[in-house]
Amino acid sequence: MLDRLYPYVVRIAAALFALLFLTPVFWMLSLSLTPEGGSLFAGGFNVSFDNYKTVLSRAPIFGWMGNSLVVSAVTTALVLLLASMAAYSFSRIRFPGSKVLFVLFLSAMMIPGEATLIPLYLLMRDVDLLGTRVSLILPAIAGPMGIFILKQFFDGLPKDLEEAARIDGAGFFKIWYRIFLPLSRPALAALGIFTFIGSWNDYVWPLISISDKAYMTITLGLPMFQSSYNQEYALPMTANALAAIPVLIVFLIFQKQIIKGIAFTGGKEM
């Protein structure tokens, strides 16, 4: 009896959990679409975009998102470029000392970014990069995870792929960008998604490096804007919605690839 009911119990429980998980997001949208103290469902379904207009006139939300976009996109592009080059070299060329270097990079994966906050702050200050968007990009590229993930992927590609190209006289560099890069698109996409989300959501390093409002990322600017509202909720929630909606739209469009990418990279991590 219990056994026959089990599939239904699981379905109902899963649906309830899903609703529970979606509630905060729906509630965010509902607060943002109604005036302070109002309710979306009081007196019919009254939608107003006034909060959005007010928030956009008071805070450079789009500017912050632009900063986040530039920082995350440049970080991701550079990580993919540098990590795939290095991973290819480690996987296929193996110069003297390459194994030692790879192990050194690998062991650096255990070092938390939080341990380098102080020295990075001091070093960036010394070279006058503190407070710039560049200061947000540079340390993120130094993470070795990409090399590890791509090397594993490259190691799995069959050797005879490049043998033919070698016979035709192609050099290692050419083989990398003509054969390896196109073949590893799924792995690059997965790593790219992982890197982009990580960079977009970084909070502690921007908090320390950036003080000029104009260079803030959305993750940093949002709480700063919200901190001036104490007993009001509609405007802070609208700012949340503004920051979340583009991310959620991108997520919903590419959800399959994003979830796969996170599972792939996360599962390979360390």
Name residues contacting another protein, limited to 9-68 (CB under 8 A). Answer: 10-11, 13-15, 17-19, 21-25, 27-28, 31
The number of residues that bind another protein (CB under 8 A) is: 95
C-beta closer to another protein: residue 204 or 214: 204
For residue 207 the two structure tokens come to: 């908090």
106 binds another protein (CB under 8 A): no
Options 43, 57, 100, 115; binder of another protein; rule CB under 8 A: 115
Please write down the HEC assignment for all residues of the chain. Answer: CHHHHHHHHHHHHHHHHHHHHHHHHHHHHHHHCCCCCCCCCCCCCCCCCHHHHHHHHHCCHHHHHHHHHHHHHHHHHHHHHHHHHHHHHHHHHCCCCHHHHHHHHHHHCCCCHHHHHHHHHHHHHHCCCCCCCHHHHHHHHCCCHHHHHHHHHHHCCCCHHHHHHHHCCCCHHHHHHHHHHHHCHHHHHHHHHHHHHHHHCCCHHHHHHCCCHHHCCHHHHHHHHHCCCCCCCHHHHHHHHHHHHHHHHHHHHCHHHHHHHHHHHHHHCC
Closer to another protein by CB, 47 or 224: give it.
Answer: 224
Query: Cβ 187 to another protein, closest distance in Å?
Result: 15
Site for another protein in 211-250 (CB under 8 A): 218-220, 222-223, 226, 233, 236-237, 239-240, 243-244, 247-248
CB of residue 49 to another protein, shortest distance in Å: 19
If the CB atoms of residues 97 and 158 are measured against another protein, the closer one turns out to be 97
42 vs 259, beta carbon nearer another protein? 259
- Residue 114 makes contact with another protein by CB under 8 A: yes
Does residue 168 belong to the site contacting another protein (CB under 8 A)? no
Q: Tell me, what amino acid is at 107?
A: S
CB 150 within 8 A of CB 85: no
Query: According to CB under 8 A, which one of 1, 100, 110, 167 is a site residue for another protein?
Result: 110
- Among 69, 74, 77, 138, which residue interacts with another protein (rule: CB under 8 A)? 138
User: Is residue 171 part of the contact set for another protein (CB under 8 A)?
Assistant: yes
Q: Which is nearer to another protein, 48 or 123 (CB)?
A: 123
Residue 214 Cβ vs another protein, minimum distance, rounded to whole Å = 18
Our finding on whether 8 is near another protein (CB under 8 A) is no
Chain centroid offset of residue 9 CA: 35
Interaction between residue 69 and another protein (CB under 8 A):
no
